[in-house]
Chain A
């Protein structure tokens, strides 16, 4: 089943093409890693899928439903983990997760909320600490817990491992693989070629808004991907 689709999707900002005629289809359980330089159009692509920005032409669909800015029809299917997960500093991890879960329409017990945080890799002793005391990695884990608690079909991630230490990145990779095994579709914009090969099922390379290559990770090594990437950009 196609969970995430882009059909002739384009976006222009003041005459500059950010995404150019993107066509893409992701299945359940896929992890798609989008590589590209800064300004290549990765974040704009994610924003188009999230409905944060309106397409200049073409369309994006989640579970077959067209994404339209300002409309909430596709929001129940998606979760989002930005590069920096900003949460409410005056609330603890449990409270933040509870707040966002309620907004998503879920009411969980503290025990269940704690379970999601633990599954996201956040140590138990941090659950009741204020977010203002959290590191970037810890915040990222709460962001993952929010996505887990929402039980969304599609998870969009914008450079989620940026700034994380290797251990945290490895933990994050395992969580992503686990989610994919459960049938979740993950679309991840990243600069990390080696992690992309490690976690992804398919990899795309974007240049000036154009998806130049789409490669299955079974067909390429990290070294080959690096070579291709450097040649492409």
Chain B
């Protein structure tokens, strides 16, 4: 059994690691492609300053949420969301919700839907779902088997109490579960190249405390002094409730109360805004644009025949488009924030969900981080375009080599909420201790051989 558990764990570690490496590889590929553009620009700008129409499609950078090694242990929802995006002149929302002609998100990053349905096997899955199952298999009959096999009477007349014997056996089984799990976590850290990452100790702490909770559950069921069959059925039911039924019920509740972003509606809004903005006269685009950016009003060149020259018009149209769509998307953001907050509270109802949230939280793979990355992407996009707007499109300045060298740089660094992680770990510890204390008290009273 330990061997099977170990093989699954090693496979999960390898799988998570390969997913991380694949995302890292794609980010590097995109960075390399962008670097080629930027080298051309750099060389060109050494010769002479540029104008808007000369180089603007080449001004690009990459904004990415690069998974580090520890993410291999808890991959979370990283494969379901954009992890790298090209930032360049253009429209943010067109490329986010409709097929873009520039600023494309990484091709091939969207996971196979079949795979999405099945989910991924990473080490956090093994810890949250398989480890308790293994614990149940090892310990469901610690006490009941003694009674059923007839050894209880001889144990009951010894100086050591049955309760002490029970907890000693439970502790040994806890060690049998936890020690290989810790070794497997360390092995996985080596496989994932995260051996020097101190967060591995938080992973170990979460695993140990989660096992304490399950030890408490096993002890509480044993304290009912029922036959082995009853114990097994009860524990499997609890495992199903914590690991599957409650998450499914919570998900259904959250989906009903906080509907996910309707990407079809947003894609339609983008298409509509795109059609509108390019159908209206350029002066109307200018009016809308100046409402958003009054600082650019009355620029030289606006009086040229036909209104703005093409690059300025297109840039303004993109900005107007993004502004329109942002108003449609904003309510969804509020819904998403509410959903994440409510989901965080519901996690406390199930040790499995809480442990999963701890592990993905430590690895920065949770939905909160993905939302934060999404928001950070939008801010960087605005910063990048504002820089170009100031120097190329709306102030008629020449873009110099110095401007190039000072292009805004932003690197996404997930902010891990360690206070939340520690609090959740303490909740796990408290839950385990309450369950163990309760069962300790229950096992003290009455007699194990008393006829009912």
Contacts and interface: CB of A to CB of B under 8 A. Distances in A.
Contacts, number: 65
Given A13-B451, A87-B151, A103 B159 contact: yes
Nearest to B150: A86
Contact of B157 (A69, A79, A84, A85): A79
Interface in B410-452: 444-447, 449-451
B259 to A, nearest CB: 56
Contact of B161 (A54, A72, A82, A104): A72
Q: Is the interface of B mostly helix, strand, loop or mixed?
A: loop
Most buried by A among B158, B444, B447: B158
B245 interface: no
Given A86-B151, A87-B151, A88-B151, A53 B157 contact: no
B165 interface: yes
B363 to A, nearest CB: 42
Contacts of A187: none
A176 B449 CA distance: 26
Interface residues of A, number: 27
B447 A82 contact: no
A105 to B, nearest CB: 5
A78 interface: yes
B450 A54 contact: yes
A143 B447 contact: no
B328 to A, nearest CB: 68
Contact of B160 (A80, A84, A103, A146): A103
B154 A53 contact: no
A82 B449 contact: no
Interface string A138-159: 0000010010000000000000
Contacts of B157: 50, 75, 78-80
Chain B interface size, under 10 / 10 to 19 / 20 to 34 / 35 or more: 20 to 34
Contacts of B446: 69-70
A162 B446 CA distance: 30
Contacts of B451: 13, 53
Interface of B: 149-151, 153-161, 165, 444-447, 449-451
A69 B156 CA distance: 10
Interface in A39-73: 47, 50-54, 69-70, 72
A213 interface: no
Contacts of A70: 444-447
A229 interface: no
A27 B320 CA distance: 104
Nearest to B155: A103
Nearest to A51: B447
Given A69-B447, A70-B446, A86-B149, A52 B156 contact: yes
A80 B444 contact: no
A42 B403 CA distance: 101
Nearest to A87: B151
Contacts of A86: 149-151, 153-154
